[in-house]
């Protein structure tokens, strides 16, 4: 199994991603960041997910604010970041180690084998890369749920995880790390609806039934905001390519993050036609991201739901 460390801000879709990953990767731990709620809540939510699924892995709390300015939690997940979920209270505490330290230590230990999955704002990752410049080379790659090659969700052209800390995202994208991106253009190709909640409820068991409850809440919030009781399968889509590469297609792009424009701040600007080359430059900027462009959405959704259902089948 591929060794994996997840940097997250649970979060309904984060929770599904963690449960999915625990079945398909050698999960080395969870680090938490602000995002869907304050970091104290996302850390507690991560511990609750571990309690639910009996995951014996370390959880380390991380950055509570972006590199520049402040943030507003994503209320679509509720005040706790994981409203609507009947989760057990955690019996343990986070480890006495900062998320940034855990990232660096786990990557150094794995020496080129560790995949870092970043499915929240990229603040922890940016600080870790700044703290230990060799980190980019110690990692196998970073897989990110964030950004978009087309429209946004938190702003017309900006995706929520990137918009919560654009400076951090810019730092990560400009690093030497190998990066895979699951942007909105990719994650929207796989959708969750009430039939998936019902499927999990019929399987039974603590994990499937809890995830069914999460989906009920999340889909209701999505219906209130967007008019339809469906949701893109955001965070799990950052993991599926490593387990089912036959279901996806990626393409290399040079991607920059817009920082200056009030209208477009947080936009992930992908040079899709190599047009940013200056006349005096012999080559276009190197591709720094492998972005997901195609996914067999129904098959990917079915694969993830079946993985969650497996917790109820022993």
Is residue 39 within 8 Å of residue 64, measured between CB atoms?
A: yes
E strands within the chain? 3-8, 26-32, 59-61, 115-118, 141-145, 179-182, 191-192, 231-232, 248-257, 268-271, 289-295
CA distance 211 to 309: 9
Please report, for residues 22, 120, 158, 209, 256, the alpha-carbon distance to residue 250 in angstroms, rounded to integers and kept in the order given.
Answer: 24, 21, 20, 33, 17
Of 234, 250, 254, 303, which is the active-site residue?
Answer: 234
DSSP H/E element including 44: helix 39-53
What count of residues does the chain have?
314
**Residue 252: helix, strand or coil by DSSP?**
strand
Using alpha carbons, select from 272, 238, 73 the residue that is nearest to residue 143: 238
109: number of Cβ within 10 Å: 12
Q: How far is CA 191 from the centre of its chain?
A: 16
**Residue 249: helix, strand or coil by DSSP?**
strand
CA distance 5 to 28: 5
Give Rg (Cα) of the chain.
18
CA distance 165 to 71: 8
Judge if the upstream peptide bond of residue 11 is cis by omega within 30 degrees of 0. Answer: yes
Using alpha carbons, select from 64, 182, 54, 23 the residue that is nearest to residue 117: 182
Residues 6 or more apart in contact with residue 260 via CB below 8 angstroms = none
Please report, for residues 55, 114, 223, 225, 285, the alpha-carbon distance to residue 26 in angstroms, rounded to integers and kept in the order given.
Answer: 11, 10, 35, 36, 35
Please confirm, yes or no, whether 250 is among the known catalytic residues.
no
| Residues with a known catalytic role | 234
């Amino acid at each position: 199994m591929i060794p994996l460390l997840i940097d997250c801000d649970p979060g309904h879709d984060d929770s599904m991603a963690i449960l999915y990953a625990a079945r398909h990767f050698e999960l080395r731990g969870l680090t938490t960041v602000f995002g869907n709620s304050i970091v104290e809540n996302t850390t507690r939510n991560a511990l609750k997910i571990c309690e639910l699924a009996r995951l014996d892995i370390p959880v380390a709390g991380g950055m509570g604010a972006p590199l520049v300015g402040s943030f507003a939690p994503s209320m679509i997940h509720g005040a706790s970041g994981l409203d609507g979920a009947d989760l057990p209270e955690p019996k343990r505490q986070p480890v006495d180690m900062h998320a940034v330290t855990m990232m660096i230590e786990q990557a150094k230990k794995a020496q080129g084998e560790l995949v870092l999955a970043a499915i929240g704002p990229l603040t922890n990752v940016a600080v870790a890369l700044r703290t230990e410049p060799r980190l980019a080379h110690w990692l196998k790659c970073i897989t990110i749920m964030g950004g978009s090659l087309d429209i946004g969700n938190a702003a017309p052209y900006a995706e929520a995880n990137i918009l919560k800390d654009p400076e951090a995202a810019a730092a990560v994208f400009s690093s030497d790390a190998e990066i895979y991106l699951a942007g909105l253009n990719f994650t929207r190709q796989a959708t969750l609806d009430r039939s998936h909640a019902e499927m999990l409820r019929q399987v039974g068991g603590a994990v499937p039934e809890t995830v069914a409850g999460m989906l009920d809440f999340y889909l209701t919030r999505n219906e209130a905001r967007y008019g339809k009781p469906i949701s893109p399968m955001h965070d799990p889509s950052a993991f599926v390519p490593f387990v089912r590469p036959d279901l996806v297609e990626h393409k290399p792009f040079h991607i920059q993050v817009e920082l200056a424009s009030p209208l477009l701040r947080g936009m992930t600007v992908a040079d899709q036609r190599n047009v940013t080359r200056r006349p005096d430059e012999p080559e276009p900027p190197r591709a720094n991201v492998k972005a997901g462009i195609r996914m067999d959405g129904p098959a990917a959704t079915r694969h993830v739901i079946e993985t969650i259902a497996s917790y109820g089948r022993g």
